[in-house]
Amino acid sequence: MRSSNRSRKSESAAWRARDRKVLWHPFTQHAAWDAEEFPIIERAEGSWLVDLEGRRFLDGVSSMWCTSLGHRHPGITRAIVRQLKKLDHATFLGLSHPPAIELAERLLARAPRGLSRVFYSDNGSTAMEIALKMAIQYWRQTGRPERTKFVALTEGYHGDTVGAMSVGGVDPFLDAYRPLLFPTLRAPTTYSYRCPKASTLEECAAHCIEDLAAILAKHAPEVAGVVMEPGVQGAGGMIVQPPGFVKSVEELCRKHDVFLVLDEVMTGFGRTGTMFACERDGVRPDLMAISKGLTGGFLPLAATLATERIFQGFLGEIRDRRALYHGHTYTGNPIGCAAALAALEAFDKERVLERLPAKVEALQKGLAPLESHPHVGEIRQLGLLAGIEVVKDKTTRESYRYEERTGHRVILEARRRGAILRPLADVIVVMPPLTATIAEIKKLGRIVRDSIRAVLD
Ligand SMILES: *Cc1c(COP(=O)(O)O)cnc(C)c1O
């Protein structure tokens, strides 16, 4: 036993050494990574990841917000295997196939009303790039070529490709690339914890809407659309919006006839309690990007959904060259589509949405004791996602210094205690699979509480 334990440890160390020689990880300072004992994950099941040494970890961030139905979900696994025996891939340029057609039908049946066309791609960033290109080209082809700008919220995140970064508002992710980015109009966001104008979320949101109204009043003739994550901004720090906020944005968009471009990449597929976050306000976007939870977190697949009005703006004679000039090698990959179809089926069969409220409450109760902690500034939650903002000084709301890596130290502690988390600077993100059991969510809450106390007390 002892020796097999030892050999698994040395096997693990050997993989780490090989990783350090050849790999470059996302959002990672490798000088620090090389000193880290990162787990080598060998397998997974349900809410759990298991490393080569046999250590079990609760997947507390759904593997970066996508594993919504748990790892190796049996129905999705079966669907992928079944699809593999029929068709691995066929180009979507000039060809079509049943999984892509059926998935588009099912998605539109679930999506907010008014969306009637599905354009596939591979990830959230590309789904957003495509939405931006559709908006710009639509206006160009319908007599308003001067509508070339977007209004986006500060702290918004839409991906890491250049267009998605251009409408992004998380400055540390953008600073190195500014020369590449196109200009975007910025509206303030509902970050009431650090709002210069208001102390409550509702007041802060009202100011944001006033400012957005002013921006549109001045710039609407040159604006193609307003871009936002509905319900909660993810990578900006789990910044929640009050009910009615997205509706107010929609009303302003309608007033000025600019497109409402919703990024549901993180919020879609049940994360905030409804199938799509914009359902809370009964909003009908013109363009909507989805990805992460689309395949239940199994495969890279994304889609941009558009209204018939936008689609019609691309019709014309061949000589008019009005087609959407965009496509990826793996557009509409059949295996990804089969996985997504199985994920949608699992949503219904397993009554995932109906079972959420009890889990949402368990998460809220699990984190509530932290409210009084001297270094917990604010806990923000919407549905089965939460962000805990830790601060150096609770009274002045002063943040820790970046170099202290406070959030990172908390998640390393959580790892020792059996949960995988990933912070956004000093916001500890908690986002278990929607299929996690109440017992698993309670355990996760306990690990988060204990880790924050162990590091910050
Ligand atoms: C993750 C994310 C993206 C980018 O998706 P990728 O698949 O990582 O390219 C875009 N928008 C939001 C809101 C996200 O959370």
Pick the residue whose CA is nearest to atom 8 on ligand 1.
124
pTM, rounded to two decimals: 0.98
pLDDT of residue 3: 57
Map residue 286 onto helix, strand or coil: coil
Would you state the CATH architecture of domain 75-349? 3-Layer(aba) Sandwich (3.40)
What residue's CA is closest to ligand 1, atom 6?
Answer: 124
CA angle in degrees (0–180, nearest 5) for 68-72-76: 75
pLDDT (0 to 100) of residue 297: 96
Please give the distance, rounded to the nearest whole angstrom, from the Cα atom of residue 457 to the centre of ligand 1: 34
Domain with CATH 3.90.1150.10 in the chain: 39-69+353-456
* Dist CA 264 CA 268 (whole Å): 5
Provide DSSP, 226-279: EEE-SSEETTTT-EE--TTHHHHHHHHHHHHT-EEEEE-TTTTTTTTSSSSGGG
Which pLDDT belongs to residue 5?
Answer: 85
Q: How far apart are CA 60 and CA 422, in angstroms?
A: 8
Q: Ligand 1: which residue has its CA nearest to atom 11?
A: 158
Q: How far is the CA of 86 from the centre of ligand 1 (A)?
A: 30
> What is the chain's pLDDT, residue by residue, as a tens digit (457 residues)?
555 888 999 999 999 999 999 999 999 999 999 899 999 999 999 999 999 999 999 999 999 999 999 999 999 999 999 999 999 999 999 999 999 999 999 999 999 999 999 999 999 999 999 999 999 999 999 999 999 999 999 999 999 999 999 999 999 999 999 999 999 999 999 999 999 999 999 999 999 999 999 999 999 999 999 999 999 999 999 999 999 999 999 999 999 999 999 999 999 999 999 999 999 999 999 999 999 999 999 999 999 999 999 999 999 999 999 999 999 999 999 999 999 999 999 999 999 999 999 999 999 999 999 999 999 999 999 999 999 999 999 999 999 999 999 999 999 999 999 999 999 999 999 999 999 999 999 999 999 999 999 999 9
Nearest CA among 310, 312, 276 for reference residue 293: 276
Determine the pLDDT at residue 2.
55
3-state secondary structure of 216: helix
Class of the CATH-defined domain 39-69+353-456 = alpha beta
Q: What is the atom index within ligand 1 of the atom nearest the CA of 302?
A: 7
The length of the chain, given as a count of residues: 457
Q: DSSP E strands: which ranges in 79-230?
A: 115-121, 149-153, 185-187, 223-228
Per the structure block, which two tokens stand in for 4?
């097999």
Ligand 1 environment, Cβ below 6 A: 123-125, 128, 157-159, 229, 234-235, 263, 265-266, 291-292
Looking at residue 6, its pLDDT comes to: 87
Task: From 62, 267, 271, 291, give the residue whose CB has the most ligand 1 atoms within 8 Å, as the site to mutate.
Answer: 291
Which residue intervals of the chain bear CATH 3.40.640.10?
75-349
